[in-house]
Structure formats: structure tokens, C-alpha cells
Amino acid sequence: MNAFSMPELPVTAVLPELKAALADRGKAVLVAPPGAGKTTLVPIALLDEPWMNGGTILLLEPRRLAARAAARRMASLLGEEPGGTVGYAMRMERKASARTRILVVTEGILARMIIDDPSLEGISAVIFDEFHERSLDGDFALALTLDVMGALRPDLRLIVMSATLDGARVAELLGDAPVLESAGRSYPVDVRYMDRSPNDTMETAVASAIQMLLRDESGSILAFLPGQREIQRVQDLLEGKVPANVDVVPLHGNLEGAAQDAAIRPAPTGRRKVVLATAIAETSVTIDGVTAVVDCGFSRLPKYEPDTGLTRLETVRVSRASADQRAGRAGRTAPGIALRLWRKEQTAALPAFTPPEILEADLSSLLLDCAAFGVTDPGTLAFLDPPPASAVAEARALLRNLGALDEAGRLTPEGAAMRKLALPVRLAHMVVVAAREGRARDAARLAMVISERGLGGNSVDLDERLSRFASDRAPRAQSARALADRLAAQASGGKVQSEEKGGPAGPLLIHAWPDRVAKARGAYGHFVLANGRGGQLDESERLAGSPWLVVADLQGQARNARITAACAITEEDLLAELGHRVEIRVETVFDREKGAVRQREIRRIGAIVLSEKPLPAPRGADADQAILDALRHHGLGILDWTDGVLSLRARLSFMHAMEGEPWPDLSDETLLERLDEWLLPFLTGEPSIAAVTPDVLQQGLLSLLPYDLQRQVGTLAPSHFTAPTGSRVPIRYENGEAVLAIRVQELFGLTVHPTIGNGIPLTLELLSPAHRPIQKTRDLPGFWRGSWADVRAEMRGRYPKHVWPEDPASAAPTNRAKPRGT
């Protein structure tokens, strides 16, 4: 069919330029807003190009719903049904034939096609639609396509299309490809703002906004919500509260294909429709008759946590680009209204774009596919945003642990078997192992229930979901079972026994998530996972009382995550499947309350303790090491620091402050770092902190000094000062000073300031006869000559029984009061 019989849409104007760019350069970037007609007109316009040579055009869509809708729209323009000139292929669904010239596929399909056939035999052009969504599959498929064009297929044509995209950046990735821009076709949209009350839930605010628009406006309504749970709640809130001619329908990825298609069809004449949708409706599809959009302002995105190995769905603010896409849905077929449930000024604070999935995703499947393609380092491929090195390392470690990659990063036979199954790597590993145990079909069905949300219901208990899935006659369930049978056959070398061993799902799931086996602990419904994280179930859940689980999915914060999919197992199951991972360790610990070292034998898998038993207290080197570990954990305060030992430590620290090395630093931090040097040699192998006596501490501290300085400590940093009266007065070493607190009368007769060591002056804290401070000085002769007169005048009246001479430098020292009668 030629272009002249196609509908006139804005993209029609750039088709000649696009054809010329493809004929000349082989690549192009097409930036066209919603309504331009790029998805349907571009592939059809290229069918008769000379370079096609009877080949096929692949059109990549980010979602199944968009792929089916695009195929149906193009087939309709050609007067056909899907499966003729235009077909589509995706997981669990395919409509194509030998006549198909335009094949619409989801992005993951192309990557597998290239890995299985790098020459892309029979393919003449590849078109990436809605590339701005930046899915991991889309980025990877583009990187592979560019690699194939550079090495094997320079004749292959490539177009990257998007509504909101940095065209220049993509063009540079494509090797300076031409950037073409098309106008869009849309009607005016009146963007309004309505901040929801803090007392209203998101669902309540959305339901109220829908009721208001139904009352005040005409046409159908599209409301955006983060996920399926919120959609169901709004649906419940609207039950019986909308006019009789209004149909309220959900639209999300877990619906049957037929239900999705029905949701985007226009409402019958005389009726209106309210479509409650996730981000699935942001781009690629047009819902005829929608003239009003309600945007809650949130979206749910997968976020991978490398430290836990968990990918959890996180509810986040939408980006400005997404908000604009959502608002644009109201103006596709007529002037419309977009009602945003936030304040207008908050729009500027929204992120500009949704982060590319490759920056926040689990990259294990990507690495497995790269290895199958012969690439051990994904950084060598042409990604618009290179995968983060930390995520690559995490994925590589997982694949090695599963036996899918060797140490050089090359694909192993186990990895090759896993990759054939087109499943996430953990589930693929589960099916491969189960095939060796005669349970391939059970495992494949379990993989389908886990990877296809909604199959078998939404019960936390995966055994319950499997039971329901087995008896579900809906088309989606039947397609999923057929796919599970094909996967099982692939894993089993082409055959699956009609009668398998059967049994519970838990032992199978252990092979997918050995790090997520979980043991009940503490409160009812609370569990600790082998990876060290916690999870919990509502008390009403049947699995809440299970002693052991394998957890397939958690949501919320990893520290206190809500378990949303799991299987019950027994400890026998655990040991049968993971017995080789059980660690038996002897742990030596310090009982602070009793001041003693204890020893116990612990059997554990990861963070889960299977059993423990006490052992006799250790002796010798083990006890000494336990004492040191206790000090590192609890600090030096658990030792018996007598006044004498503290004095020695203070004196040595003072000399270090005055003279530096070789006098040692005796701060807590340094002593803890050097325990092996100063304390360990003096320990006696006793399992008690009481064995670390003050004598041991004193010997240890002195051992940090060279031997010649050890003999001089008493001289250079004496513990006492001998006063002229003969009294031995203790010296305090504190804050970098040597302080002598002494009654002033005991220093009479001194004409030189007292010093220690190599002439270091003492700080004199001069006391009254009542031992109260009266002056502090480091210049005693100056004090005698100066302020002594003032001190004498004040003290004579207060202490008349004591000697207060006019010239203390020439007076006799005394530690007594005046004799009676003088």
C-alpha cells in the first residue's frame, strides 16, 4: 500500500526526508510528539523502499499493550487483521505468518533474536519506538543492534523514535545519525492543579477528582495511579457512586491481553468510560474519547538494592516528562483537561526525566546475555548510559555463584542452559536444577507465577497460587501454562514426563533464592533471612506461623520489608538442598557481665543460626585473643585501671606531649590498635578479664618504651614531688601539664621554680591551710615578689594561726601552724 492512501498525519511531512536519510546513511533519529503518527505510518511507509529487498521490519515497543495496539492499528490501515502483513510477537503471545513484513515485538525479543542469530537473517530494518522510556531491554537491544551493524550487517537500517528525547545525544551514539523532527497533532489541554488535603489518601483524592469531572465535564476520563492496589481501591471507592452510563475499568500489566485491549477501546455510543491506569497508558496507546486526565503524581518503579539482592517497587514522584505525557493523553482526540493532584509550584521540583532503568536495575540477565553474545564486559558495547560498575560486579558475582559464568566471565554449560529459558537468572537456575530432579514442569510453572504478576491470584503463599494457576481456564493462564511446558521441555532436553514427582514448591524455590531462606524469630510473623535482612507477614497470613520460609518477593524497606510471595519449607528441606552451605564455626565471645570468655559451636546458613551449643572455656592463645577482641569491642574501660596504673599512663602521655617519640602515644585509639604489642605478650592464657591485673597493665605500658627510658621514668616524669618540708606530694599529669597542688607554706625558702625531667616547670597550684586554691603559677620567684603581698594580706586575717612572712623566699618552710603563744 503506498503512502498516498495513508491518513495525513504530521509525520507524513518528514517521511521523504526520513527515507532519504535511511537510503544515504542507514540510520536516523525521529523526534515526534504524541499524535504525530510515527508508530503506525513510518513502518508502512518503508515497506516499498528498494533497500528492503523483501525483508522484514522489526518495530520495538516497550510494552505488550503498545505492541498489540500498534499491530492492530497498522493492520487496520491495510485492511487486514494482525498476522498478515503486520504481526506481533511477545512472551506468551504471537500472531505472525510467512506473509508478515512488519513484526511488532517487545524490546526483550530483539535482544534474544540477535544473540541467537547475530546476522538477523531476513530483517531489513529495526525501529525503536518510544525509546525515551529507556528500559533496560531497550538499551541493550540498541547496543546489540549497533554492534551487529558495525560487524555483520552494514546494510541494516535503524531508526530510533521518541516523543521526548535528547535527539542529539542519541544521534551521537548512532554515529552522528540525522535528527528529524516532526510536529505533533494534539488539541489544547487545560492543565489544572488541585492539592489534596493531608487528611485524604491518594485513592480518596483521585476518586473525588473523578466524581467532580464526571459531574462538570463530558467525555471519558483516564486516571493515573502507581499500581494495581491503588487502582482496586479507587475502583471500590467509585462503586455505586458514578452515573449509570459510566463504566469504570482498570488498565495495568497484570490484566489479560483481551481485558487490556477492551480498556483502550472507545466507550460505546451514549456511554462514558473511566480508565484507572498505571504508567502503562503514558505513551504508545491512544484511548479514544478521553478528554480528561487525573494525575495522582506518583509512579511505581523497580529499584534494585545490591547489598540485599532485592528488587523492590518504590513509589516515587513522577518526572516532569512523565507528567507532560500524562497530560497529553487528554488532548489526543479533542480539547481536554488535565487535573494534577499537587500544587503548581511543586512541578518545578519534579525530576526532569525518569532515570534510565540500566542505572538502577539488577544486571544479572544482561550479563548472562552478554556472555552468550561473546562479550564478557558490557562496557565494551555502545550504551547510551553505561551500566554502573558496582551493579555489574554484583551481577557477575551472582552468576558465578549460580555456576552460569566461569572466572573469566565466559558462559558455562549451566549458564547456556539457563539462558535458553528466557527467564530471570534465578528462576532459570531453579528450572535447570529442577529438571535434573525430575520436576522441570513444576519449576517452570512456579517461574511463571512469580514472573507474571497476577497469575494464580495474589496470595502470599506461592503453593496456593500454583494450585489456582493449574485450574485457571482464562486465556492468559492457558498461554502461561503452554509457555511453562515449553520451558520445561527445553530444560529437560526436549522431553517432559507426563507424570512428574510433584510436591511442594518450597524446595524448588530454594534453588532460586538460597540467600532468602528465612527462619521465624521474635514476634509472630517475623522472620530473619539468610542474607541478614528482616521480613514480616501479617498475623492473618497462613504462612505467618511457619517456622521456615523461602521468600520470593518483599516490598518496602529492606530492614523491615513486607513479604509478598513465599513458600513454606522444613528444616529437612533446607538441609537437603543447602547442606553444603552450612557453616560450623566455633565462636569465642566475651561475657561482659561475668568478665569472662565463653566459647560456643554455631551451625549457620548466612545470618540464620541453625543450632548452637556451649563449649568449655578456651585456654591459652584462644583465650588471649578473645580478651583482645573483647577490648576492641567494649573498649579499654573493662580493664582494672587502678590509680597507680592511671598515674603511670598519665606520666607517659605527658612526656609524649612534651617530647614526642620515642615516648609512646597512649590514647585509647592507639592502645587499641597496638594491643598485640603491649598487652598480648603479658597475658597468661586465662579466660577472664580479672587475669589482666594492674601489674600486667603496668608492664605492658612500660614495654612500649625503650629500655633506657623505662629506667628514667621515675626521674623524668616522677609521680611525686619532695617538698622542702620533706613531704612527698603527688603530681597530677593532665591536659599537657604537670600540676603540683601544695600548701604554700611548704614552699617557703625556694628561690627557684620547681621543675621535672629536663627542666620542665611544674604548674604550682598553691593551696591555703584549708587546702583551697589561692593561686596558680609557673613562676614561683615572680609570685613571691609580686602578688604574694596581696595574698598575705588576705590570708593573715583568715588563717591567723599560720605563718605569713613578708619575705617567703627567705622564710623556713613549714607544714604546721604557729606554735601556741607566738
What's the 3-state SS for 296-343?
A: CCEEEEEEEECCCCEEEEEEEECCHHHHHHHHHHHHCCCCEEEEECCC
pLDDT at 597: 84
- Percentage of the chain beyond pLDDT 70 is 96
Q: Is the pLDDT of residue 627 over 60?
A: yes
Q: In this structure, what DSSP letter does residue 268 have? A: P
User: 48 in helix, strand or coil?
Assistant: coil
The cell numbers describing 729, all together, are 606530694
Q: What average pLDDT does the chain have? A: 90
Higher pLDDT: 778 or 64? It is: 778
Q: Is the pLDDT of residue 391 over 70?
A: yes
Q: Is the pLDDT of residue 303 over 90?
A: no
Q: Is the pLDDT of residue 313 over 90?
A: no
How many Cβ atoms sit within 10 Å of the Cβ of residue 364? 25
Task: Give the residue-averaged pLDDT of 347-375.
Answer: 91
Q: How far is CA 615 from CA 519, 598, 610, 805, in A?
A: 25, 8, 17, 73
Q: What is the rounded CA–CA span in Å between residue 342 and residue 53? A: 53
Q: What is the rounded CA–CA span in Å between residue 516 and residue 499? A: 30
Q: Is the pLDDT of residue 35 over 80?
A: no
Residue pLDDT, tens place only, 519-531: 999 889 999 999 8
pLDDT at 160: 96
Q: What is the rounded CA–CA span in Å between residue 568 and residue 573? A: 10
Q: What is the rounded CA–CA span in Å between residue 486 and residue 5? A: 42
**What pTM, to 2 d.p., does this model score?**
0.70
| Domains along the chain with CATH numbers | 3-181 (3.40.50.300), 189-355 (3.40.50.300), 633-716 (no CATH), 722-810 (no CATH)
Whether the CB-CB separation of 178 and 29 falls below 8 Å is answered with yes
Whether the CB-CB separation of 130 and 60 falls below 8 Å is answered with no
Task: Give the residue-averaged pLDDT of 667-688.
Answer: 94
pLDDT at 644: 92
| Span of 299-303, 410-414, 803-807 with lowest mean pLDDT | 299-303
User: 462 in helix, strand or coil?
Assistant: helix
Question: What residues form DSSP beta bridges with 294?
Answer: 223, 339
Task: Give the residue-averaged pLDDT of 299-308.
Answer: 73
Q: Is the pLDDT of residue 384 over 80?
A: yes
Residue pLDDT, tens place only, 764-776: 999 999 999 999 9
| Span of 333-342, 493-502, 532-541, 813-822 with lowest mean pLDDT | 493-502
Q: Could you tell me the pLDDT band of residue 340, with boundaries at 50, 70 and 90?
A: very high
Whether the CB-CB separation of 233 and 203 falls below 8 Å is answered with yes
Residue pLDDT, tens place only, 216-256: 998 999 999 998 889 999 999 999 999 999 999 999 877 77
Q: In this structure, what DSSP letter does residue 217 have? A: -
Q: Is the pLDDT of residue 821 over 70?
A: no
Q: Could you tell me the pLDDT band of residue 4, with boundaries at 50, 70 and 90?
A: very low
Residue pLDDT, tens place only, 465-515: 999 999 999 888 898 899 999 999 999 887 655 555 668 999 999 999 999
Q: Is the pLDDT of residue 542 over 50?
A: yes
pLDDT at 96: 94
Q: Could you tell me the pLDDT band of residue 819, with boundaries at 50, 70 and 90?
A: low
pLDDT at 37: 87
Q: Is the pLDDT of residue 638 over 70?
A: yes
Q: Could you tell me the pLDDT band of residue 310, with boundaries at 50, 70 and 90?
A: low
- Percentage of the chain beyond pLDDT 90 is 66
pLDDT at 305: 67
> DSSP for 135-189?
-HHHHHHHHHHHHHHHHT-TT-EEEEEESS--HHHHHHHTTS--EEE-------E
Grid cell 491518513 is found at 7
Q: What is the rounded CA–CA span in Å between residue 120 and residue 535? A: 46
Grid cell 489456582 is found at 468
Task: Give the residue-averaged pLDDT of 123-151.
Answer: 93
Residue pLDDT, tens place only, 557-583: 656 788 999 999 999 999 999 999 899
Residue pLDDT, tens place only, 188-225: 999 999 988 888 899 999 999 999 999 999 899 999 99
Question: H or E element: which one contains 519?
Answer: strand 517-520
Task: Give the residue-averaged pLDDT of 585-599.
Answer: 84
